[in-house]
Structures are given as C-alpha cells and as structure tokens.
Chain A
C-alpha cells in the first residue's frame, strides 16, 4: 500500500541553526500537506502544496513539492524555541479521500 516516509525521526538544533525535514512517498501524490504538533497538542495545518515543483514560503518556513510529486521538504531558517514540536507531512493520492501521514520529525531547539 501507499507509504510515506519522513526523515529524520529526531533533530536537535541550536537556536538560530537551520532545520530541514524530508518526506518521500512510494506513489505519486495529488497534493501534500504539512502539519505541526506542539508537545501535548494536536496537529495543526501549516500549508498545502499541489503543483509539481511548487515552492511556498511562510516567514522562516519554506516548503517544496518535488517535480515528480513524490517527495517534499520543509526547511526552517534560523530556528527559534517556538519551532519546537513534531512536523508531519501528509500525502493524498488522486481520487481518494485518504491522507497518509509520514512518521513525523520531532524538532528540539536548544536555547
């Protein structure tokens, strides 16, 4: 079945360093979403990417969707302690309602 792998599983960075998490699907996706889950909280939607090669920015966050629509990345520039949490990608195949989530990357930011 469809699988979505995410790496790394954990990342510890010093405040001010950059951070990147990568998401890879075994099948072509219709679109991909990114969510952030703060410790003790629930996942909160960040962004959706739909087009091949799409790049979107939200302040210090940059999201990319691969040309083949099978991979995606989230890059955070100059991390802050407020970036702490687990970041999930979620991919959807065309013609289905299901979003398959990646395993998540837990980010810790050391002040």
Chain B
C-alpha cells in the first residue's frame, strides 16, 4: 500500500514562529504536492514538485516555501506564521503522467493552529 506520512497531525504555534511541515512517501513517486483545506474553499494548491530540487508555485504560495532535497520527502515551511495560516495542510504524491494516470495519494493531514 502507498503510504504518505505527515510528521504531525496537530500543531499549535505562535504568530511569527517558523513552522516546518514534513511529508514522506514510500512509493517512489515523482510528484509531490502541498494543499491547504479550509471550509467552503476546498483544497487549494500551495506548491508542488515534479522532481528532486524542482518546485513550482501553486495558486496560493504567498507566505510559504518548500524544500525537496530527496525524492521521498517534501517539506512545507512557514517562515513567519500568521493567524490566517491556521488551516488543515494536506500533502499528496503521485507518479508522473508517463508512469500512471496521476492518481493523488494523500497523507492524513496536519492541522495547524497559529495563535
């Protein structure tokens, strides 16, 4: 079974803190994604990566950065957390389009609260 593991299910941080959200997948997927999920807004893409050290901005990249130093790991970084970044963060991974239909496999999510 594909496993996408997010490092923390629940985090509480203070405004201005630096926050790291880690995601690891064990299926040798090329693509990895970070989404945030908010009520009424669905899932919005923050950043994605289609290869090691490659990244592209999604629809809401402001206030976030990412790192992909190894194929299996994709990190989301909030340089200076703000209250409007309180949300559920979902990591996902998939094979590239040449290897599969591109089904996304999601982690369990990390619920971040910024006080």
Contacts and interface: CB of A to CB of B under 8 A. Distances in A.
A98 B43 contact: no
A104 B48 contact: no
A33 B107 CA distance: 18
A5 to B, nearest CB: 10
Contacts, number: 59
A98 B102 contact: no
Interface residues of B, number: 26
A52 to B, nearest CB: 17
Given A42-B109, A45-B105, A48-B101, A98 B58 contact: yes
Interface in A88-111: 88, 90, 92, 97-104
Interface of B: 31, 33, 35, 40-45, 48, 50, 56, 58-59, 90, 96-97, 101-109
